[in-house]
Amino acid sequence: MTGRRAALLQGTLDLLILKALAAGELHGLGVSRRIEQITGGTFVVQPGSLFPALHRLEEAGWLAADWQPSENNRRAKYYTLTKAGRRQLGEEKAVWNQIALAIARALEA
Amino acid sequence: MARLVSLWRNLAHRNRVDRELDEELREAFELLVEEKLRSGLAPDAARRAARLELGSVESLKGQVQEARAGAGVDAVLQDVRYALRSLVRAPGFTAVVVVTLALGIGVNTAIFSILNAVLLRPLPFPEPDRIVRLFHVPPQATFPGMARFSLSPANFFDWQRDARSFEGMALYRGRSFTLVGQEEPRAILAAAVGAGFFEILHARPELGRVFRADEDTPAARVVVVSHGFWKTRLGGAPDVLARSLKLNGEPYAIVGVMPQTFSLGSWFAASREIWVPLALSDAERAVRENHNEQAIARLAPGATLAQGLSELEVISKRLEQEHPQENAGWGATLAPLRDVIVGDVRPTLVLLLAAVGLVLLVACANVGNLLFTRALGRRKELATRAALGAGRVRVFQQLLIEALVLACAGGAAGVLLAYASLRAFAAMLADQVPRADEIRMDLRVLAFALAASILTGLLAGALPAFRAGRAELTDALKEGGRGDSALGIRTRRLLVVCEVALSVVLLMGAAVMLRSLVALRTVDAGFDSQGVLTMRVSLPDTRYPKPAQRTAFFDTALERLRALPGVTAAGAIDDLPLMGGSVQPIVVEGRPELLPRDQPTVQVRALTPGYLRAMSIPVVRGRDVEPGDVEVLLVSRGAATLLWGDGDPIGQRVTLPLVSRTLARQVVGIVADVKQDGVTERPQPTVYSYTRERSSARLTLVARTSLPPGSLAPVAVGVIRALDPEQPVQEVRTMVEVRDALLSSQRLSALLLGLFAALALALATVGIYSVLSYIVRGRSREIGIRSALGAQSRDVVRMVVREGMTPALVGIAAGTLAALLASLSLERLVFGVSASDPLTLTAVGSLLAIVALLASLVPAYRAARVAPSTALRD
């Protein structure tokens, strides 16, 4: 895998995680399921990519985490979008739209 | 900012962070299981499916940890701890590596300490870079190749008056006094300094004051003493400024004490025990044609060296025109004081540093080999770590960190080693290297040692770490314990080649220095130094004001010396051969007088009858000087050719204008050539004068004896004491000692280079041995099969020896090439032997071949003894 492609995928993953959490707090597995759901099953995020990304985004200050009772009444780590995260989501969305538009135009040309 | 907080949290509360991660991932697993259960799977199948989807929790943890802030720092700390633990578990390996590196880094640190003190540390005066020495540039026709010459007083005072780029200029020279006090008479070394000397150095006295400008007159009787003189000779008396010293029989008032920090051992003007005003008379200040003075100056603030130089050049051009008779061809130059003090040793020190650098490289190669063996032996462990989620980079990093930990331990031990040996080094260097008294460890030395350690660790560790990290990890697991057979043999061969090549270069350097030293010791300087005792006597003019008194003193002294049992001849001269001395223009009577710049110059010495016989310098034609002569000259063969060509000098008359323009003296004999300026110089044309009634005040007496000359010393000194109990005798040495003292720096570099080369050779031997042992061990199965198939033990020995000798021979060839290249830089430092001497090269190559053979034989015989059954069973 070349560095550039990895970077692109990573950027996409970050965007998807931020978007998945925009609707409300979720635990790690929930994020994965939510992404699967909103992309209509196109993206299935592997745990090997998901958890490192969650921790990275948390450390960047875009996600906050706290421990709450889960559906089965045990403790789970729930992630929420911070203010900075919401701003970041807006920026990444804009960038993504630009790219998508540009690529669509390029393909139609 | 958020990342910084995370970094802090990750590093400071690592346990909690890890626990939480663990919990998060386990919870994710449980949630996944429930999800599977809900979709209708049986509990067992649900858990299996969940595990399959999530992957191993451990490896997932590893991936998250690597994404976290400070993952690098964290991993390094972890690796350092891990390395320490595993090194402690292998004490033998650790000890060998640490000792090897301690030797390598230790010698480097020691040599760098010397280099630091001598070449890098500034002189102990404020703004030392602005302090310069001033010189004449002599006319090259008469002084070929000589770039710096002492100053004439009149020219100096013209420079001082006219130059604007300097804050100040001052003359100084060495002087010796006889100090009479409560103890026996002692010759005391002083520096006579012109007005402004201390001010130029920005040096302040510890007590009292330095000289006032109006004290630079012949009538002044004032003295400044050194801290050491005050403490030891005057007992640190608090009323020192109220005391006086009796120098040459006259009282000198002590006006100041210079502080300890002023003493700069390697520059006589700052290291002498006392200072007196130079106090030139008006007549002496007007002398323009005689060049005997030393001068320092300080550049004015803002003025550069180049500005100072060009200003001096302009002034001396003008002086050439104003005083063509004396100044034609005499230019000016200057150089930073530090360069003048340390100039000569720079190449030697750089050579030594290069040599210890090579030693360190050999040590690196050895350690690299050991690390490689260890890394391969641990392939299973590494493969297991990799399987548990450590990436290849991480394995590489861990091996490298282990090498760095070892290198730092070696470096620390090396610093201790250097620290312990520094005193011995400094003592050994004291007489040969300027500023040796300043050698000590400082922050720069420690920084150097740290840098050397890190570099060593990277160098020794990178190759093994890279090779072992690259080895297919799964293969290692599959193979089990067996079969590290042929792994990395090529790498090891390369290490042997490097070690041998480096050793060849070092041994070559040492051998060439040694041969050069032998050549210097045995070179014919024109006299026989065996069986000769020398001692210097300087009669103070206060007690021997009349020439006749001096003549009487020396005549009697020599007579009594000759009467001693065992003494076969005795005489005296002002400057011994090899020590340099007066160089003067000479004029042959009856020839038109030339400008000073075009006059031929000769070495001029004053001798007494008996000197030539005592030194075994043959008279070639004519006769020696005799006690009955009044004013006669001898010329050396070279001087005869220079002045008369094929003509006969005997009976000719010459004048030495610097002595007297009117006194023409007759040549009575021609003597053999003698080296006057040093063993490496050619013999210079020399004129020896004998003036019965005007004996010099300062002469060196020489006596030839059939007994060991050293044993004559006490009686010889006794002769002088009996004549004058207040007269000190200096430098009582045999002529062999005089000669050897001149070679001490060559001896030292030969000794040190030899030491370093031996160290490198020992390391290389160990290296070859351990590489071959490893190869033999790895191939014991193959050897067993060969033996089982009927190979003789002779064949096995031959095979193993070939395995060792091939890289050794390649190394010898490569090293010889490198030595030839290195010899280009060595050529300037050796004498009487070419740095690329084929005989030396062959000898060094053979020595290494023999050593490599011996190092190969032990593993070879061990291999030959391998029983086929054991090898096959293992």
> Are the C-beta atoms of residues B396 and B470 closer than 8 Å to each other?
no
**pLDDT computed for residue B485 by the predictor:** 46
Cα Rg of chain B (Å, integer): 38
Both structure tokens of B55: 């992957």
- Angle subtended at Cα B181 by Cα B180 and Cα B185, rounded to the nearest 5 degrees: 40
Strand order in the sheet with B567-573: B567-573, B698-705, B532-538, B730-734
Q: Say if the Cβ atoms of A47 and B30 lie within 8 Å.
A: no
Q: Which helix (H) or strand (E) holds B746?
A: helix B744-778
Q: Is residue B672 predicted with pLDDT exceeding 90? A: yes
From B447, B279, B472, B277, select the one nearest B383 (Cα to Cα): B472
- Which residue, among B1, B5, B6, would best test binding to A if mutated, counting the most A CBs under 10 Å from its CB? B6
Q: What is the pLDDT of residues B282-297, one digit of tens each?
A: 999 999 988 889 999 9
**pTM for this predicted structure:** 0.69
Selected residue with higher pLDDT from B712 and B748: B712
Residue B6 phi/psi, 5-degree rounding, is -60, -40
Q: What is the separation, in whole angstroms, between the first and last Cα of chain A?
A: 29
Q: List, in sequence order, every residue forming a beta bridge with B223; answer none if it has no partner.
A: B254
| β pairing state of B294-299 and B222-225 | unpaired
Q: Say if the Cβ atoms of A75 and B27 lie within 8 Å.
A: yes
From B389, B572, B379, select the one nearest B487 (Cα to Cα): B379
Residue B867 phi/psi, 5-degree rounding, is -75, 130
> Are the C-beta atoms of residues B492 and B486 closer than 8 Å to each other?
no
**Chain B residues whose beta carbon lies within 8 Å of the beta carbon of residue A70:** 27, 31
| DSSP label of B116 | I
CA B231 to chain centre: 32
Total number of residues shown for chain A: 109
Both structure tokens of B657: 């204008």
| DSSP label of B591 | S
> Are the C-beta atoms of residues B857 and B793 closer than 8 Å to each other?
no
> Are the C-beta atoms of residues A57 and B64 closer than 8 Å to each other?
no
**pLDDT computed for residue A77 by the predictor:** 87
**pLDDT computed for residue B867 by the predictor:** 67
Q: Using CA of residue B406, residue B408, residue B411, residue B415, what is the dihedral sign?
A: negative
> Are the C-beta atoms of residues B152 and B287 closer than 8 Å to each other?
yes
Q: Say if the Cβ atoms of B1 and A61 lie within 8 Å.
A: yes
**pLDDT computed for residue B72 by the predictor:** 66
**pLDDT computed for residue B478 by the predictor:** 52
At residue A3 the predicted structure's pLDDT band, cuts being 50, 70 and 90, is: very low
In A, minimum Cα distance to B29 occurs at A29
**Chain A residues whose beta carbon lies within 8 Å of the beta carbon of residue B64:** 51-52, 55
Rounded to whole angstroms, the Cα distance separating B546 from B548 reads 5
| β pairing state of B686-691 and B601-606 | parallel
Rounded to whole angstroms, the Cα distance separating B176 from B730 reads 11
Q: List, in sequence order, every residue forming a beta bridge with B687; answer none if it has no partner.
A: B604, B635
Cα Rg of chain A (Å, integer): 15
Establish if A53 touches chain B: CB-CB under 8 angstroms. yes
Identify which of B6, B34, B55 has the shortest CB distance to residue A59: B6
> Are the C-beta atoms of residues B87 and B370 closer than 8 Å to each other?
no
Identify which of A28, A59, A84 has the shortest CB distance to residue B24: A28
Q: Which helix (H) or strand (E) holds B288?
A: none
Query: Range with the lowest mean pLDDT among B11-25, B210-224, B462-476?
Result: B462-476
Both structure tokens of B796: 């096995």
Rounded to whole angstroms, the Cα distance separating B144 from B158 reads 26
Q: What is the pLDDT of residues B83-97, one digit of tens each?
A: 888 888 888 888 889
**pLDDT computed for residue B488 by the predictor:** 67
Q: List, in sequence order, every residue forming a beta bridge with B451; answer none if it has no partner.
A: none
Q: What is the pLDDT of residues A68-101, one digit of tens each?
A: 887 667 788 889 999 988 998 998 888 888 888 8
| DSSP label of B699 | E
Query: How far is the alpha carbon of B57 from chain A, nearest alpha carbon, in Å?
Result: 10
